[in-house]
Structure formats: C-alpha cells, structure tokens
Amino acid sequence: MSLTDILSPSDIAAALRDCQAPDSFSPKKFFQISGMSKKSSSQLKDIFRILDNDQSGFIEEDELKYFLQRFECGARVLTSSETKTFLAAADHDGDGKIGAEGINLFIYR
C-alpha cells in the first residue's frame, strides 16, 4: 500500500507546494490540504503505518524530520524547529514519539 492509494496525488502535490520554504510547514494545514483531515480513523492508521519508516509503531523525531519525503522523494526535510513543534503538538504523553492514536487525535483536534 502507498500513500496515493489513500490520498489523491494532486492533493499531496498541493500540500507539498504549500510548505516548500523552510519553516513554512504547518501540520494542521498540511493535513487539510493533503486530505488527511477528511480520512477515517482506519485510513489514518494505514497512513501512519506507511509513515512509520522503521515499523516500530511510533514516529520518532528522527523519522519526523523526513516526514515530507515520505510523501514525495524529492521533498525537503523539516527544519529542526518544525520537527520539534510537530512532535510537541502530536506527542500527547510526552515520551518523545508519536503513536498512531496521537496522530489521529492531533489531526482531528
């Protein structure tokens, strides 16, 4: 399964265009433009599994840095401040990583 099985390629492209400049990434806006905010909890779990590069069940800070590249190989990496802000917003238990439930809650807030 790939992200384009769940999300429209044109929506992904639009979301990536919106945050091309360093420090312009807004997770909430990215989720809206890409269509993730309209997906069911089950679909979000599928997306999460794809984004969880090491299949640990969590997205850690090192993986989060490459978040955009999971949508398109040539996309930029998130800056340190973008990564830390994203992690802080979605890490509901303060363990330094995001679980599938954390990302679901973050998207639907």
Binding site per annotation, positions: 52, 54, 56, 58, 63, 91, 93, 95, 97
Judged by DSSP in three states, 103 sits in: helix
Known binding residues for Ca(2+) are: 52, 54, 56, 58, 63, 91, 93, 95, 97
- Environment class of 43 (CB within 10 Å of its CB; exposed 0-12, middle 13-18, buried 19+): middle
- List, in order, residues 6 or more apart from 86 with CB less than 8 Å away: 25, 27, 64, 67, 78
Q: Are 86 and 28 in contact (CB under 8 A)?
A: no
